[in-house]
Amino acid sequence: MENDMKTREMATGQDEGNGTPASSGRSFAENQRLDREPNPLKATARDVCVFYGEKQALFDVNLDVEDRSVTALIGPSGCGKSTFLRCLNRMNDTIAGTRVTGRIELDGRDIYEPGLDVVELRARVGMVFQKPNPFPKSIFDNVAYGARIHGLAGDKSDLEEIVSTSLQKASLWNEVKDRLHEPGTGLSGGQQQRLCIARAIAVSPELILMDEPASALDPIATAKIEELIDELKENYCIVIVTHSMQQAARVSQRTAFFHLGNLVEVGPTEQIFTNPQDQRTLDYITGRFG
Ligand SMILES: Nc1ncnc2c1ncn2[C@@H]1O[C@H](COP(=O)(O)OP(=O)(O)OP(=O)(O)O)[C@@H](O)[C@H]1O
């Protein structure tokens, strides 16, 4: 009971020294209702193991990812959160000596099946990294980049439409509409991260992976990204790696706790933070390790 209260306090509280408000002004309970209907599954992982050369980084991970909701991956440093995230769009393929076993399906289709077009997969599964990484191009060209490569725009006005819609969805349009041809790298860190989200959205992904998307940002920019995640979940499936348990509690509906390469526990976020079933989860969320 004491632990319950402590963990509830941790999850609902604000980041120490950060002061980030709860996203969209909604209460913790409203955001993570335990009684909400589960959404259909977007992705499933079954018995997923990852090896970097001889070293095994993930052990038999089984995880269901619901559509139109946010799944947070939490756990101590080195537990395999980013490794798992990268499995979902086969980014691990780009690291020499990496081997993935098991099965990962997106909409019921094995994403590791021979012959699958990885470029197309990465358009369906967008990624936003810890450090904003705009291309050294204009704001417009950053967002237009993927649409051009994938031939999504029939003509110039189609492309302009894609760029403006994506910037609007990323809550950046009003700040940049008069400077679309200035360099993306000239924006603030928070704006750059929203530009990267707009770039990801521009190719109409179904799943968006975010690897600590706010960890390089100040509290105000962090709050904007959290609000944006909250809005995006209405139309997209989002999986986010975060070191901040408060952030996981604010933005996610489901939370998965990793430890030493194992997925220890996954469930509704409120349950994970108030009534975890595994002692390791409890130890982590009460700050005993990590
Ligand atoms: N490219 C790589 N080559 C070899 N080992 C790696 C590589 N990337 C990650 N690892 C190892 O795999 C394990 C899981 O790493 P991973 O980055 O997935 O953890 P994480 O939970 O995301 O950590 P953090 O929270 O610190 O980012 C760690 O032991 C790490 O050292």
pLDDT tens track for 219-229? 988 998 999 99
This complex has an ipTM of 0.98
* pLDDT value, residue 32: 53
Hey, which residues does 254 pair with through a beta bridge?
Answer: 71, 268
What is residue 288's DSSP assignment? S
- Flag whether 36 is in a domain: yes
pLDDT of residue 29: 52
pLDDT in tens, 61-98: 999 999 999 999 999 999 999 999 999 999 998 899 99
With a CB cutoff of 8 Å and minimum separation 6, the contacts of 265 are 256, 257, 272, 276, 277, 278, 280, 281
156-169 and 189-201 helices cross at what angle (nearest 10)? 130
Residue with tokens 């962090």: 222
pTM for the full predicted model: 0.87
Q: Is residue 177 part of a domain?
A: no
Query: Residue 65: inside a domain, yes or no?
Result: yes
What does the pLDDT look like over 156-181, one tens digit per residue?
A: 999 999 999 999 999 999 999 999 99
Q: What is the domain-level CATH number for residue 59? A: 3.40.50.300
Look up residue 104 and give its two tokens.
């990962």
pLDDT of residue 9 exceeding 80: no
Q: Is position 27 within any domain? A: yes
> How many independent structural domains does the chain possess?
1
What number does the ligand 1 atom closest to the CA of 73 have? 21
List the residue whose alpha carbon is closest to atom 1 of ligand 1: 95
Average pLDDT over residues 228-249: 94
Running DSSP on this structure, what letter comes out for residue 26?
A: -
CA-closest residue to ligand 1 atom 11: 57
Residue 24 has pLDDT above 70, yes or no: no
Distance 7 CA to ligand 1 centre (A): 27
In a domain, 46, yes or no: yes
Quick one: pLDDT band at residue 154, thresholds 50, 70, 90? confident
Distance in angstroms (rounded) separating the CA atoms of residues 131 and 72:
18
pLDDT beyond 80 at 10: no
Supply the range of the domain harboring residue 223.
2-133+189-285
Residues with beta carbon inside 6 Å of ligand 1? 52, 55, 57, 75, 77-83, 95
- CA distance linking residue 38 with residue 58, whole number of Å: 26
Please tell me the predicted confidence (pLDDT) of residue 46.
Answer: 98
Please give the angle made by the CA atoms of 132, 248 and 18, to the nearest 5 degrees.
70
Residue 290 pLDDT grade (very low, low, confident, very high; cuts 50, 70, 90): low
> Once rounded to an integer, what is the mean pLDDT over residues 237-250?
96
Determine the pLDDT at residue 34: 57
Q: How far apart are CA 187 and CA 132, in angstroms?
A: 10
179: in domain? no
Provide the pLDDT for residue 216.
Answer: 85
Residue 162 lies in a domain: no
For position 33, what pLDDT does the model report?
A: 58
Distance 214 CA to ligand 1 centre (A): 19
Is residue 115 a part of any domain in this protein?
yes
Q: How confident is the model at residue 151 (pLDDT cuts 50, 70, 90)?
A: confident
